[in-house]
Chain A
Amino acid sequence: MRWLLLKDLQILRRSPLQAVLLVAYPILIALLIGFAISREPGKPKVAFLNEIPSGARIAGGNGELPAIGVNQRICSQVECVDVDSREEAEAKVRDGDVLAALILPSDLIDRLNSLSTLNPETPEVDVLVNEENPLKAQAVDDRITALLDQANLLIARQIAQEGGRYLNLIVDGGGFDVLGQQIEILGLRATAAILESLRPDVPPSMRPQLDRVIRFATLARDNLDVAAPLIDRLAQPIKVDKQSLSAPTPPLEIFAIAAAAALTLTFVTLLLVAGSLALEREENTFLRLTGGLVSRSALLAEKVGLGTIVGMAVTLLMLAGLQIFVSLEWGRFALWLAAILMSAVAFAATGAALGGAARDVRSVSLLAFMVSLPVALLSLVPSGAVGATLYDAIRILTALFPYKPALEAITGALDPAGPDIAPPLLHLALLFFAYLALARLSLRRLASV
């Protein structure tokens, strides 16, 4: 068997494209993932034109709300590209220099202020987008909606705060500035206290009326005390209290690394074993080998061994490359090895089953891609993202292929707080034996043709 293994490695070495791909692939994946998880997500570029006159403020009662720093707040969410005119904003969007343009028209504050008058107008901001494809359109919509929701929330909070301040003034009294003149407001609390102090000096016949006024002032004070926090809550009536019912999820970078490692094993191991077995048929050597030189089981073991060795080496190389970007716990190396080894043998057995079913290397490569890529993508579909029946079908389909258990096993091995790796390892072992049995059937069929 070792001579066959040596022969396959020689053939691999003689195929420069294959050899380069096997080395370049993990390095490329490691670099891509490394850069992706070690950098902040890029902010989208948005052209920003603020036509609001400087010093304009949103009115609050007889005064003005404090400045809310529109420019700074918006530009902390996106990368603002300042433009001087609407035409320039349109040109930047059209040329694809920016994702969208946000224009705050000069009458925005006036329209906002009109909301508290008898002739309210709808405040509007202008958004220019270039929806050249559905994905971009969705991304732009999501960003703009999020920005506007944040702006509306900010303004509502400011108004609620001002409303609360006025209510406090009515309840507790205090100073109030009107057209530059300070006016003293007595407040309900002080009113009730003054009336209480005057009560003994009021003739008994008038006391019932006075008691009614005192009761009103007291009730109004108490109820307005309750109203103040109510107004504050109006700005954000619903508060989110998120509780996760599932096991703790791994950090995103660990999940990304595990997904990449499982994908590497899928392509390297599966394609190598399937292609190598199909090559025996393409070169007409299968019957010569199994005609007495080696048993079909030995040939199968050699191919599975080849895929496992190369798949493990490439995956470990990729993880070593990722160490540049992310700190991995090398103390868990034994668990990594167990997860990668079981994943590799399961993928190798799957490759052997596919390799035995196809006539040549090209068709088996195509078949391997057609099977593995959709299953790998479907394995990442979360529950709730699709209908219950469809999700059940996806679960069954992905359970029949090693990608999902490999992803779970590698995630558990990489993450110290991750899930137990025993169940996915058992799952992988079952898949290994099942696909090995299928591969043996395929080879028996090949030998009888």
Chain B
Amino acid sequence: MEARGLVKRYGEREALKGVDFDAGPGELVAVIGPNGAGKTTLLSILAGTLKPDAGEVNSPDGEVGWVPQQAALYRRLTVEENLLLFARLERREDPHGTVEEMLELTGLAERRNDLVARLSGGNQQRINIAIGLLSRPAVLLLDEPSVGLDPRQRARLWAFIGTLAEGGASVVFSTHDIQEAERYGERLLVLADGESLFDGSPAGLLGAVRSETPEAAERDFETAFVAFLRHRGH
């Protein structure tokens, strides 16, 4: 997936200021930045749910899976009914077979008849991601997938996402948790106030932080990252 010169304005405010982006097959890319940096706007444009005011997006053959920040599910339907509905809307040839596959993948086969409203936040997020995978996407976009999850649920979620990337899907996720991005992202894209400040590996970001803010480099990664943003005027 490739995007060039993305610009998005909300009235007077410029949410994205000419951002470039790319992600290769099997790559795990983390989009990080403070609140209001433009992470959700970027992912929404890549997913096709939002149109940019300028710039272009080139997607690979195959669907782009989109997992919004908040679970986009029908809470009064069961796990199976949700998956079946979206499988039918995705026009899968064998919607029931696809549902079985997703239930297996998410480990929620035993809870297939439970209403989504009765699932924990973590399990809801797994269904949310599974719906994003129904179209067998070449690229999976996840907007802050671990928000609201406890550490155990988060670990299971990242293990699940890891298996998707190992299967060859490009996985792009946004987060404002720097430690999480450092731990799970193979590449980091740093956004602040709609500007792209850095695009590279976690080690590369650490190097940039050390060179630009040596006084903060000895401290933890999050503190050093905040100092880096401040040094860049954000």
Contact = CB atoms under 8 A, between A and B. Distances in A.
A14 interface: yes
Contact of A293 (B71, B81, B90): B90
Interface in B46-61: 47-51
Interface in A275-296: 283-285, 287-294
Interface stretch (B20-28, B72-80, B102-110): B72-80
A289 B89 contact: yes
Given A11-B76, A283-B74, A285-B74, A291 B89 contact: no
Nearest to B135: A292
Given A3-B88, A293-B90, A448-B50, A285 B81 contact: no
B131 interface: yes
Interface residues of A, number: 20
A86 B19 CA distance: 92
A10 interface: yes
B68 interface: yes
A15 interface: yes
Interface string A1-37: 0011001001100110000000000000000000000
Interface in B61-98: 63, 66, 68, 70-77, 81, 85-86, 88-90
A446 to B, nearest CB: 11
A7 B77 contact: yes
Contact of A10 (B66, B72, B77): B77
B73 A285 contact: yes
A333 B25 CA distance: 63
A284 B128 CA distance: 11
Nearest to B91: A293
A377 B162 CA distance: 61
Nearest to A11: B76
Contacts of A293: 86, 89-90
Contact of B75 (A3, A283, A289): A283
B66 A291 contact: yes
Most buried by A among B71, B88, B131: B88
A163 to B, nearest CB: 81
A288 B72 contact: yes
A291 B72 CA distance: 12
Given A3-B85, A7-B85, A15-B76, A291 B71 contact: no
A291 B49 contact: yes
A14 B76 contact: yes
Nearest to B47: A291
B73 A11 contact: no
Contacts of A292: 48, 63
A290 B89 contact: no
A7 B131 CA distance: 16
A30 B183 CA distance: 65
Contact of A287 (B68, B89, B90): B68
B74 A291 contact: no
Contacts of B74: 7, 11, 283, 285
Given A14-B77, A283-B73, A3 B66 contact: no
Given A293-B89, A294-B89, A284 B48 contact: no
B76 A288 contact: no
A10 B68 contact: no
A284 B77 contact: no
A7 B73 CA distance: 12
Interface of A: 3-4, 7, 10-11, 14-15, 283-285, 287-294, 447-448
Interface of B: 44, 47-51, 63, 66, 68, 70-77, 81, 85-86, 88-90, 115, 131
27 contacts: A3-B89, A7-B81, A7-B85, A10-B77, A11-B74, A11-B77, A283-B73, A283-B75, A284-B68, A284-B70, A284-B71, A284-B72, A285-B72, A285-B74, A287-B44, A287-B49, A287-B68, A287-B72, A288-B68, A288-B72, A288-B86, A291-B66, A292-B63, A293-B86, A293-B90, A294-B89, A448-B51
